């Protein structure tokens, strides 16, 4: 049995017209010989009657504080409604379908309500229904504890549901249907000439997601990379192949990527950041004291540059005032630069390619953009700029590295 898991987000199922398009994607999978497992999110976004945020607002009209267990029970309702509606849409087209909650689908979690961790998947019931000829529609974003309490999986939970089911069922593909045609060389709203990337390795895709691209949630991407689940990021509104995310061997064997690998693939970004600069003085223990004080308060930092007498790093702008308060209490003088944005080039073995940093600096200079800080990894080079310059920086890098000509 060839299995494909197809995930449809809330904006892909909140109108009858969009659900009909989703049904056509499911029928196409059946015509190709697949047994589809469909994962759906709650319909629409805040303001829509069945959106998760709308349901939360309803409960808080009565009392501002909702117990985590009851809140998860409430938040699970949006996805359950979507499964029933999607199952009915499939039946209208003459297809046998059955709707399952996350728990009924065999997703067992711990009891960390609101951000539960999946302990295991028991896919036997799904397999049974597939063998009986049903299209199985599963509520995303949720699972159940050993005691039978409904839990939710946190932000991006429906993506995670789709990928863990793909792993457990040994699916041939997990399709993530979105409002874009695939992973692009840049955000097409900022760079209209951005191109679809036909194939990415797990590492490249994980970096693109980590640097700000929102095509798939980073938790789901981590699961896909760990269990080598082939992903396809596809558009609901056209028949393009989108972007496949898998091992490099698969991409080369199918001619999606050549052996002469391109140096760069995408420009990603994260806005809403703040740069923190602190002098450390001459005492070596100051370094440990600065970072320990933040760690003890659960503050995550990024783009860290550490020098003998000072350090600079990046935090979410909304946490900048808290970071300043923590460090000043620890005895440090703090400078905050905000709002900033991190713009990143993501590509294969970038660290082994001479001249990339020089081109990046040249692109920024040509556009009159100040670089506040830089950082790199094996597949990324990032620069911190003022947020007002972010879009120009993205456009400059896309132009400098001719990414509109690479796909």
Tell me the three state secondary structure of residue 48.
Answer: strand
Peptide bond between residue 339 and the one before it cis (omega within 30 degrees of 0): yes
- Structure confidence at residue 262 (pLDDT): 53
- 357, part of any domain: no
Q: Which two tokens stand for residue 196?
A: 């679809």
Tell me the three state secondary structure of residue 7.
Answer: strand
- Structure confidence at residue 119 (pLDDT): 96
**Domain hosting residue 166, numbered range:** 3-253
Read out DSSP for 98-165?
A: EEE-TTTTTEEE-S-TTSPPEEEE-THHHHHHHHTTPEEEEETTEEE-TTS-EEE--TTHHHHHHHHH
Per residue in 292-348, pLDDT tens?
999 999 899 999 999 988 999 999 999 999 999 999 999 999 999 999 999 999 886
Q: How far is it, in rounded angstroms, from Cα 312 to Cα 200?
A: 32
Over residues 376-382, the mean pLDDT reads 86
Q: How far is it, in rounded angstroms, from Cα 382 to Cα 377?
A: 9
- Contacts for 51-54 with beta carbons within 8 Å, 24 or more apart? 51/10, 51/78, 52/78, 52/141
Residue 178 has pLDDT above 90, yes or no: no
- Structure confidence at residue 21 (pLDDT): 94
- 30, part of any domain: yes
* Banded pLDDT at 20 (limits 50, 70, 90): very high
Per residue in 144-173, pLDDT tens?
999 999 999 988 889 999 999 999 999 999
CATH code for position 184: 3.40.1160.10
- 87, part of any domain: yes
Per residue in 127-138, pLDDT tens?
999 999 999 999
pTM of the model: 0.85
Average pLDDT, the chain: 90
Residue 260 has pLDDT above 70, yes or no: no
- 317, part of any domain: no
* Banded pLDDT at 350 (limits 50, 70, 90): low
Over residues 60-86, the mean pLDDT reads 89
- 334, part of any domain: no
> How many domains, in total, are found in the chain?
1
- 315, part of any domain: no
Q: Which two tokens stand for residue 342?
A: 């991190």
- 387, part of any domain: no
- 69, part of any domain: yes
Over residues 77-103, the mean pLDDT reads 96
Residue 231 has pLDDT above 90, yes or no: yes
């Amino acid at each position: 049995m060839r299995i494909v898991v197809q995930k449809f987000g809330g904006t892909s199922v909140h109108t009858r017209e969009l659900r009909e398009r989703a049904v056509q994607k499911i029928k196409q999978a059946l015509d190709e010989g697949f047994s589809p497992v469909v994962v759906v999110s709650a319909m629409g976004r805040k303001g829509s009657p069945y959106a998760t945020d709308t349901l939360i607002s309803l409960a808080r009209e009565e009392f501002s504080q909702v117990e985590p267990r009851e809140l998860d029970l409430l938040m699970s309702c949006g996805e359950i409604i979507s499964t029933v509606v999607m199952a009915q849409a499939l039946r209208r087209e003459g297809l046998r379908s059955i709707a399952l909650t996350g728990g009924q689908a065999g997703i067992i979690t711990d009891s960390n309500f609101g951000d539960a961790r999946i302990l295991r998947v028991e896919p036997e019931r799904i397999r049974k229904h597939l063998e009986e000829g049903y299209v199985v529609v599963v509520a995303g974003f949720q699972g159940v504890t050993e005691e039978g309490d409904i839990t939710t999986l946190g932000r991006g939970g429906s993506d995670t549901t789709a990928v863990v089911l793909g792993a457990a069922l040994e699916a041939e593909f997990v399709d993530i249907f979105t409002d874009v045609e695939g992973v692009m060389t840049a955000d097409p709203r900022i760079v209209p000439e951005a191109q679809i990337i036909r194939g990415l390795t797990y590492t490249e895709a994980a970096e693109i997601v980590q640097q700000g691209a929102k095509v798939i949630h980073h938790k789901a991407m981590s699961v896909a990379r760990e269990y080598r689940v082939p992903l396809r990021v596809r558009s609901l509104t056209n028949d393009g192949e989108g972007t496949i995310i898998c091992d490099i061997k698969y991409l080369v064997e199918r001619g999606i990527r050549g052996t002469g690998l391109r140096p760069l693939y995408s420009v990603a970004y994260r806005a809403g950041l703040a740069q923190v600069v602190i002098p450390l003085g001459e005492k070596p223990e100051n370094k440990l004291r600065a970072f320990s004080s933040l760690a003890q308060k659960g503050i995550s930092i990024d783009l860290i540059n550490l020098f003998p007498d000072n350090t600079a790093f990046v935090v979410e702008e909304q946490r900048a005032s808290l970071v300043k308060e923590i460090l000043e209490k620890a005895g440090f003088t703090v400078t905050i630069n905000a709002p900033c944005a991190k713009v990143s080039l993501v590509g294969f073995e970038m660290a082994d390619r001479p001249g990339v940093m020089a081109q990046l600096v040249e692109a920024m200079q040509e556009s009159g953009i100040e670089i506040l800080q830089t950082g790199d990894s094996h597949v990324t080079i990032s620069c911190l700029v003022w947020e007002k310059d972010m879009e120009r920086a993205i456009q400059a890098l896309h132009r400098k590295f001719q990414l509109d000509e690479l796909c």
